[in-house]
Copies of this chain bind each other. A is one copy, B any other.
Amino acid sequence: MILTTKHKELIERIGVFHEHKGMQPLVGRIIGLLLVHEEGEVSFDEIVENLGVSKSAVSNALTFLQAKDRCVYSTRPGDRKRYFALKVSDWREDFEKELLDIAEIQKFIDEVLEVRTQKNPEFNCKMKDFSNFLGFFKKEIPLLFERFKNQQG
């Protein structure tokens, strides 16, 4: 597949989006490429060529993506190349994990509340509210997916 300027520009933007999430630049670009590539499966050297980076960098980035379970490769009979693809089917679990991740702050809020004195009741009260909300939020996550499934019909 030959990438147009539009493709490349979109890949870059997807790249910086993922950089903001803490990933290293190339990892974000690879995610972009795997999303944009029409077959969804892209060989190692196609990645090297399309992104214009070294084999070593691609190798490390793919190892990382596989470790994070965001990417897999398949092979074809009589072909030693690996064809990499995103695990798009896992979007539910991945998104759920992200939500639980940002709710993780509750653990710290609760520890903070245990350690704090009563010197600033208003502060404590707001923190307690936040903690309660986070508890509520965590319980709501599975229901959210269920409601989505139902309204889909």
Contacts and interface: CB of A to CB of B under 8 A. Distances in A.
A120 interface: yes
B126 A36 contact: no
Given A99-B102, A105-B17, A108-B13, A132 B119 contact: no
Interface in A16-52: 17, 20-22, 35-36, 38-40
A104 B10 CA distance: 15
A71 to B, nearest CB: 14
Contact of A120 (B10, B39, B95, B115): B39
Given A123-B40, A133-B95, A6 B144 contact: no
Contacts of A99: 99, 102
A57 interface: no
Interface string A119-153: 11001001101101100110010001101100110
Copy tally for this chain in the complex stands at 2
A65 interface: no
Given A38-B117, A137-B148, 19 more contacts: A6-B115, A10-B111, A13-B108, A14-B108, A20-B22, A21-B22, A35-B108, A35-B112, A35-B127, A36-B115, A40-B120, A88-B126, A88-B127, A92-B133, A95-B133, A132-B148, A136-B151, A137-B144, A140-B147
